[in-house]
Amino acid sequence: MTFLVDSHCHLGDLKFGDIDQDLNEVLDNARDAGVTHMLCVNTDLGTFPDMYSRIRERPNVFASVGTHPLNVNDYDWTEQELLDYAEYPKVVAIGEIGLDYYYDEETKEKQKDVFTRQIRIARQVKKPIIIHGRCAKDDIFRIVVEEKAAEVGGIFHCFADDWELAQKVLDLGFYISVSGMVTFKKATNIKDIASRIPLDRLLLETDSPYLAPVPKRGKPNQPAYVKYVAEEIARIRDLSVQEICDITSANFSRLFNLNLSDN
């Protein structure tokens, strides 16, 4: 069986009318596009129970739990709360966590504290982390090293940084996920990164409902559109789409210790 996996989507952020009906439609579209599995990523512990309730009974949809760096002031979470949520049956990762200095430098210190604490919890529960980074590569890499995050590994998601950082995180054993930005004409840096990531560390994502790829750019993104990411990377790497699907699905399975055929 062929598997095509969206390693990073935000199904809880779909806000188009009746959420339940829209979610059913989104999952039907994914199935029709050959997307068999997806990871629904949490960005705020305060919204996790609602997000989880929506995907709990959905076959082939996994979850993560964590606080996004831009949400550090939105919810006063406790470490015990994160520990409890991390044990939910479908939760396979801690994330989306990290640092983002693009919008608000005033929260730098709090972001670093929250990032550090969540890495420590990930090591405690022995689950990979999903890292968001923007305009903060030096601090992110330093904290990842200092907190021994490589013990659990994980993903640098929606990677749009430079090859120097890519090499460093790959050397630590992390995976790199490529989003629909790779289809953008002017995204030459991302295309270059996608051409150089070792195939056994490559993952695909949509980051939906954001960053819809060409030819859907400007519309709400959805997991079905990960096929366009696969097609573009296949073109860049001079491989078949089938090969990219097989390779990235195997990588997803290995990272999260999942047998996709059983889900």
Q: Write phi, then psi, for 200 (nearest 5 degrees).
A: -80, 5
Name the β-bridge partners of 129.
Answer: 94, 154
* pTM (two decimals): 0.95
Q: Residue 138 contacts by C-beta under 8 Å, 6 or more apart in sequence? A: none
What is the predicted pLDDT for the residue at 2? Answer: 73
**E strand residue ranges, 150-225:** 154-156, 175-178, 202-204
What is the predicted pLDDT for the residue at 17? Answer: 46
Q: Measuring CA to CA, how many Å separate 158 from each of 88, 134, 190?
A: 25, 10, 10
Name the β-bridge partners of 112.
Answer: none
| Cα maximum dimension of the chain | 49
Buried b (16+ CB within 10 A) or exposed e, 159-198: bebeeebbeebbebebbbbbbbbbbbeebeebbebbeebe
Angle at 254 between CA 250 and CA 256, to 5 degrees: 120
The closest of 37, 86, 88 to 66, measured between CA atoms, is 86
Rounded CA-CA distance 246/108 in Å is 39
Walk along the chain (263 residues) and give the pLDDT tens digit of each residue. 578 999 999 998 776 444 455 888 899 999 999 999 999 999 999 999 999 999 999 989 999 999 999 999 998 999 999 999 999 999 999 999 999 999 877 899 999 999 999 999 999 999 999 999 999 999 999 999 999 999 999 999 999 999 999 999 999 999 999 999 999 999 999 999 999 999 999 999 999 999 999 999 999 999 999 999 999 999 999 999 999 999 999 999 999 999 998 77
DSSP of 36-75, one letter per residue?
-EEEE--S-GGGHHHHHHHHTTSTTEEEEE---GGGTTT-
What is the predicted pLDDT for the residue at 21? Answer: 52
What is the predicted pLDDT for the residue at 160? Answer: 95
Rounded CA-CA distance 181/161 in Å is 12
